[in-house]
Amino acid sequence: MEMTLTKVLESAKEVFKIEADSILRLRDNIGEEFENAIDILYNCKGRVIVTGMGKSGLIGKKIAATMSSTGTPSYFLHPAESTHGDSGVITKNDVIIAISNSGETQELMNLLPLIKRFGCLMIGMTGNVNSTLAKTSDVVLDISVEREADTLGKAPTSSTTATLAMGDALAVCLMEKKGFTKEDFLMFHPSGKLGKGLTYKVADLMITGDRMPLVSENDSFQDVIKTISEYKLGMAMVLDSSKRLIGVLTDGDIRRTIIKYPDLTSLCVKDVMTENPKRITSDAYTASALNLMEKYSITALAVVDENNYPIGVIHVHDLLRAGVA
């Protein structure tokens, strides 16, 4: 029978609800076993070996990839291949994450004696806490779901979603526990948009020299407007008598000043500037500059040295051209 559009949308929404409920069930159920798993993974002296068969294996590959890219060296081992020589990748210093919804997958069962022979600690991710996998594991993470999302209740849908979410939770918690930084992230993501914000530093893209719109605090408001128009950056950096940055005048400041003051002729820029403006150093990553711009809804940042002398300007257009934004 042909499905109507309404029926299709209803079915899709039901899938989303079932799978979302499965993830929320994980949130409500995790506890000491999850903490133990994090401790084991954190103290691992070798690699994390993830293994699973079929759909569990596909999810396992993603978990291993996520961990590897976030500072936890990981490798996926196919359980069927492992008993034909591939188990040689396992060392006594490794930690095993074994995934099986039933906890009785035969190919995985064949691998368990080898894991025990190596003496590795094993984290079992299973939907059956009374299974062979659960009983053999040092730590058990319950990934059980109330039902699969398909109409037959058979296809791995909710269960694989829950498994993936559990793997993501492990990876993220390990990142936090290890103090994984943006610089660390760059080492594993040097290409593409993810890495560009960390590849470039502010010094690489900032405007310098006579291209900087610099004005004195005692300059007239009207003269500073001309400077801003000339440099076309939407702002001017305001300096005190010692040439240190004390403020900025932006397009927004100009609009607010025009509304507030009927007579502009007697105004100095220090009377209407934004004091203590947002600024950044030249050795900061451009991702940090972009974050500041987004957080405070600004399009340009003053770049200063350690003594608060302006040495450049970084504009959102520069970030766009470089592919950072």
The CATH number that domain 202-321 falls under is 3.10.580.10
- The interaxial angle of helices 158-178 and 54-69, nearest 10 deg, is 20
Per the structure block, which two tokens stand in for 159? 């269960």
Q: Which CATH number fits domain 5-180: 3.40.109.10, 3.30.1340.30, 3.30.499.10, 3.40.50.10490?
A: 3.40.50.10490
Tell me how far apart the alpha carbons of residues 63 and 75 are, in angstroms, rounded to a whole number.
Answer: 9
CA distances in angstroms from 304 to 245, 246, 251, 252, 277, listed in the order given: 8, 11, 21, 22, 11
Round the average pLDDT of the chain to a whole number and report it: 90
pLDDT at 2: 63
Tell me how far apart the alpha carbons of residues 228 and 219 are, in angstroms, rounded to a whole number.
Answer: 13
Please tell me which residue, 201 or 190, carries the higher pLDDT value: 201
Structure pTM?
0.61
Tell me how far apart the alpha carbons of residues 189 and 318 are, in angstroms, rounded to a whole number.
Answer: 21
Q: How far is CA 275 from the centre of its chain?
A: 33
Element housing 119 (H / E): none
Model confidence at 45, pLDDT cuts 50, 70, 90, reads: very high
Going from N- to C-terminal start, the domains of the chain cover: 5-180, 202-321
Contacts of 135 (CB under 8 A, 6+ apart): none
pLDDT at 291: 86
pLDDT at 151: 84
Contacts of 88 (CB under 8 A, 6+ apart): none
Pairing verdict, β 235-239 and 245-250: antiparallel
Tell me how far apart the alpha carbons of residues 95 and 74 are, in angstroms, rounded to a whole number.
Answer: 9
CB 75 within 8 A of CB 64: yes
> What value, to the nearest 5°, has the Cα angle with vertex 98 and ends 75 and 37?
90
pLDDT at 5: 78
Residue 192 scores a pLDDT above 80 = no
- φ/ψ (deg, to 5) at 297: 55, 50
> What value, to the nearest 5°, has the Cα angle with vertex 176 and ends 172 and 177?
115
The burial of 114, by beta-carbon neighbours within 10 Å (0-12 exposed, 13-18 middle, 19 or more buried), is given as: middle
Residue with tokens 């007239």: 220
pLDDT digits (tens, 9 = 90+) for 236-293: 999 999 999 999 999 999 999 999 998 898 899 999 999 999 999 999 988 889 889 9
Equal fold, 5-180 vs 202-321: no
Per the structure block, which two tokens stand in for 3? 């499905």
Per the structure block, which two tokens stand in for 154? 């058979």
CB 231 within 8 A of CB 302: no
pLDDT at 288: 87
CB 235 within 8 A of CB 300: yes
Element housing 72 (H / E): none
Model confidence at 150, pLDDT cuts 50, 70, 90, reads: confident
What number of residues does the chain have? 325
Residue 198 scores a pLDDT above 90 = no
